[in-house]
């Protein structure tokens, strides 16, 4: 089998398995009460119709508990997965929202010129009887830009973990590819909570049923994250670094 054929086969198994799980994810999401008794919640949505998945959504309360959802182009329903953010992440999100006076402000945070090619960000916040939603493609507001980047980084990380778990169960030969994707995302500082990856990476490292190169790459990434966390004083890292 040629290299291109192998790559196509791997892409097809991922599409088939993911499509098969779409209905299960939607059913799971409908069957569970994802509303929290908390009076505060935040929902972040990123949409780009030219990408696949074409939509990511995070919904969480002030305990960090909620759901992560994504929509594939060929699917009518999303996959809905449980979400648990770190307490420090929720604190940073709330701190940014307080700095923005988000619920009190009328600012739309849009840049003078919209950039639809970048995709659309929708941010919704509810606190008691107050709620507000904004939508933009590009913002020049520094705090809002950092907040949107942090939330998108969390969505990217949740999706990558989903792909890694899927490959581990159904296509172990694809695992190294997924870890290389994770390595690139870490290297560029794109992920929102890298320290949460440590248990998964250490588990992959110790799994004797996996290819040795996969175990070595998992160990390398875990070691890099641990060093980055130490350098940052325990708060994780979002800056680009050398792997």
Is 188 within the bounds of a domain? yes
Band of the pLDDT at 131, cuts 50, 70, 90?
Answer: very high
* Domain termination residue (choose one: 153, 188, 212): 153
Q: Out of 119, 153, 187, pick the residue that ends a domain.
A: 153
**How many whole angstroms separate alpha carbon 195 and alpha carbon 207?**
20
Q: 133 and 189: one domain?
A: no
Residue 38 is predicted with a pLDDT of 66
Domain final position from 153, 186, 221: 153
Indicate if 111 and 210 belong to the same structural domain.
no
> Are the beta carbons of 158 and 200 closer than 8 angstroms?
no
Helix 87-100 vs helix 142-170: angle between axes, to the nearest 10 degrees? 150
Same domain flag for 106 and 226:
no
Q: Which long-range contacts (CB under 8 A, 24 or more apart) does 138-145 make?
A: 138/110, 138/111, 138/113, 138/114, 139/109, 139/110, 139/111, 140/111, 140/112, 141/100, 141/107, 141/109, 143/96, 143/99, 143/100, 144/96, 144/100, 144/109
- pLDDT tens per residue across span 198-226: 999 999 999 999 999 999 999 999 999 99
Domain residues for the domain of 197 are 171-243
pLDDT for 181 beyond 70: yes
- Domain identity same for 86 and 39: yes
Instruction: Say yes or no: 110 and 196 in one domain.
Output: no
User: Is 211 inside any structural domain?
Assistant: yes
164 occurs within a structural domain: no
User: Domain for residue 181, yes or no?
Assistant: yes
Number of H helices and E strands in the chain, helices first, is 6, 6
128: domain CATH number? 3.30.1560
75 and 143 both lie in a single domain: yes
Q: Is residue 133 domain-shared with residue 58, that is, in the same domain? A: yes
Q: Are residues 131 and 207 in the same domain?
A: no
Q: Kindly state whether residue 107 falls inside one of the protein's structural domains.
A: yes
**What DSSP state is assigned to residue 235?**
S
Residue 154's H or E segment, with its range, is helix 142-170
Instruction: Give the tens place of pLDDT for each residue, 132-172.
Output: 999 999 999 999 999 999 999 999 999 999 999 999 999 88
Give the span between the Cα atoms of 22 and 10, in whole angstroms. 18
Judgement on whether residues 140 and 96 belong to the same structural domain of the protein = yes
User: Would 235 be classed as within a structural domain?
Assistant: yes
**Domain for residue 179, yes or no?**
yes
CA distance 216 to 191: 21
The sheet carrying 120-127 orders its strands as: 79-84, 65-71, 55-61, 40-47, 120-127, 130-136
Clarify whether residues 89 and 141 are in a common domain: yes
Structure confidence by residue, pLDDT tens digits, 107-123: 999 998 888 889 999 99
Distance CA 138, CA 151 (A): 15
Number of domains forming the structure of the chain: 2
Distance CA 185, CA 45 (A): 20
Same domain for 104 and 204, yes or no, is: no
- 3-class DSSP assignment, residue 213: helix
Query: Residues near 62 by Cβ (< 8 Å), separated by ≥ 6?
Result: 38, 40, 41, 90, 94
pLDDT at position 186 is 95
Helix (H) or strand (E) holding 5: helix 3-31
| Within-domain flag for 162 | no
Asked if 62 and 182 sit in the same domain, the reply is no
- Percent of the chain at pLDDT > 90 equals 72
For the stretch 6-48, pLDDT in tens is 444 444 445 545 544 544 444 344 334 445 556 999 999 999 9
């Amino acid at each position: 089998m040629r290299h291109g054929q192998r790559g196509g086969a791997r892409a097809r198994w991922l599409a088939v398995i993911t499509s098969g799980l779409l209905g299960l994810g939607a059913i799971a999401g409908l069957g569970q009460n994802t509303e929290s008794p908390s009076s505060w919640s935040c929902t972040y949505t990123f949409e780009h119709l030219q990408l696949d998945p074409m939509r990511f959504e995070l919904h969480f309360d002030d305990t960090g508990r909620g759901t992560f959802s994504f929509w594939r182009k060929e699917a009518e329903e999303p996959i809905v997965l449980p979400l648990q953010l770190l307490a420090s992440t929720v604190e940073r999100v709330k701190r940014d929202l307080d700095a923005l006076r988000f619920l009190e402000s009328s600012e739309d945070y849009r840049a003078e010129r919209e950039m639809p090619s970048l995709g659309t960000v929708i941010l919704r916040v509810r606190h008691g009887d107050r709620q507000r939603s904004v939508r933009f493609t590009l913002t020049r507001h520094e705090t809002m830009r950092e907040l949107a980047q942090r939330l998108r980084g969390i969505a990217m990380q949740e999706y990558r973990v989903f792909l890694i778990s899927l490959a581990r169960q159904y296509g172990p030969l694809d695992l190294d590819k997924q870890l290389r994707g994770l390595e690139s995302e870490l290297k560029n500082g794109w992920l929102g909570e890298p320290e949460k990856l440590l248990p998964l990476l250490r588990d992959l490292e110790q799994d004797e049923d996996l290819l040795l190169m996969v175990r070595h790459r998992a160990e390398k990434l875990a070691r890099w994250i641990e060093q980055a966390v130490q350098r940052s004083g325990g708060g994780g890292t979002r800056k680009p670094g050398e792997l």
